Structure 1
Amino acid sequence: MGNGGKIVRMIAAVVLAGLASTAAAETCREDVVMLRSDAGSARFSVEVADDKAERAQGLMNRESMAMSAGMLFVYPEPQAVGFWMKNTLIPLDMIFMDETGTVKKVHHEAQPLDESPIFGGQDILAVLEINGGLARKIGISEGWTMRHAAIDQSKAAWPCSESQ
């Protein structure tokens, strides 16, 4: 019986470890972006634009967006990216991140309908658009890290497997 109890405990430990890793993986969902730094954290429900047509459409022609919402633009590989506000009716903050999910630049309060280019820099893999003024209010700046399934987990500064 001594070995039977030990085996049961080992199986229970494996099951619990599996549940814990499943719970950690669930925190990294396609429709959620989490950002953090030593100064704080933020969570946004997002739509993902990860193909050329979706990225071209973006948030055009929308009259409003929930305060905790955003759109995550994901590119197939790091590259130089630029945005504009053509046909975009709401002010937006644009948060540009590299392949590790680290914020490289924040453009605050892009103005509706402005067709001036907004450049994010080189080697950008993802851009999070949120309501204008919110990044400043939360304190999101260069160096913050993003947790999301679109980031290659072997390169992620904040991998999905890491506890919050």
Structure 2
Amino acid sequence: MRYAALLLTGLAALTVTLAVTVQAGQGESDPKSTTTVTPEPAAKTEASPTAEATPEVHRAVVPGLAGDWRPERCSANIPYPCLLPITQLTVTSADGESSVTLTVEIANRSDQRQRGLMFRESMDELAGMLFVFPGDRSGGFWMRNTLIPLDIAYLGADGTVLEIVHGVPLSLDILTPTQPYRYTLEVNGGWFERQGLGVGDVVAIPAGVEAR
């Protein structure tokens, strides 16, 4: 009996030991079952389309007009008034009996000629713009972005008025002359009629005025 009791006691102790071992084993982590979680890379930001750069405006003061700043380069798309040289020229009737002197801006560069009198809301009666070309040409003018009616006079190399057409504000019609010309003079609409001047009269082109 004593032997049997000792045997039972030993079995009970072994059972307790095994139970403790199993519980301890359940609390340990199996190295083989460990999963390493790698963080996902940050989402790649898609680049937005590059916006069209705003044209740089170079400004210069207009001589004689304090505080009047204008870009040196002209644009046909930006409504800034641009810097143009100014001079006076005289339009004389063919018979020499009458003449009128204008103060005109000179458009003798390509960017200036393309811009012309675009975006102007008004113009003095004795003001205008003289377009100077490097040689005779036959292409016409249009009134894109031009807000005021104009008389467009096509002039020969000697300044003779060859033809006058009438520009309607904002019209995209090409006003093509019937013969080649060297200069173009733009003034307010109806100006030639009001002054009693027209085809065959002469515009005195100032010395030194030439295309660049």
Q: Normalization by structure 2: what TM-score?
A: 0.55
| Aligned partner of 1:90 among 148, 152, 168 | 148
Greater Rg, structure 1 or structure 2? Answer: 2
Query: What is the aligned counterpart of 1:135 among 175, 179, 192?
Result: 192
Q: 1:151 to 1:106 in 2, by over 3 A?
A: farther
| Matched AA of 2:125 | M
| Secondary structure in 2 matching 1:81 | coil
Using the alignment, how far apart are the partners of 2:156 and 2:208 within structure 1? 9
1:150, distance to aligned residue in structure 2 (A) = 5.5
Q: What pairs up with 1:2-81 in 2 under 5 angstroms? A: 31-37=87-93, 38=95, 40-81=98-139
- Provide closer, same or farther for how the CA distance between residues 113 and 150 of structure 1 changes in structure 2, counting only shifts above 3 A: farther
Which stretches of structure 1, 4 residues or more, deviate above 3 A after TM superposition? none
- Residue of structure 2 in register with 1:25 after alignment: none
| 1:115-154 alignment, distance < 5 Å | 115-149=172-206
Whether the 8 Å CA contact 1:45–1:69 is kept in 2: the answer is yes
Unaligned residue ranges in structure 2 (runs of 5+) = 1-85
Amino acid at match of 1:35: V
How many residues align? The count is 123
Gaps of 5+ in 1: 1-29, 153-164
Report the CA distance between 1:33 and its aligned residue: 1.6
Query: Given that residues 99 and 123 in structure 1 are in contact (C-alpha distance below 8 angstroms), is that contact kept between their aligned partners in structure 2?
Result: no
Partners of 1:99 and 1:151 within 8 A in 2: no
The 3 A distance-change label for structure 1 pair 41 and 151 is: farther
Q: Which structure is higher in RCO with an 8 Å CA cutoff and minimum separation 6?
A: 1
Root-mean-square deviation (CA, aligned residues, Å) is 1.9
The residue type equivalent to 1:115 in the other structure is L
| Whole-angstrom CA distance in 1 between matches of 2:150 and 2:114 | 16
Contact 1:46/1:72, CA 8 A, preserved across alignment? yes
One-letter amino acid of the counterpart of residue 154, structure 2: F
Q: In structure 2, how many angstroms separate the alpha carbons of the residues matched to 1:81 and 1:142? A: 19
User: 1:69, CA displacement in angstroms?
Assistant: 0.2
Cα contact 1:81–1:122 (8 A) shared by 2: no
- Whether the 8 Å contact between 1:84 and 1:117 is mirrored in structure 2 is yes
Which structure is higher in strand share? 1
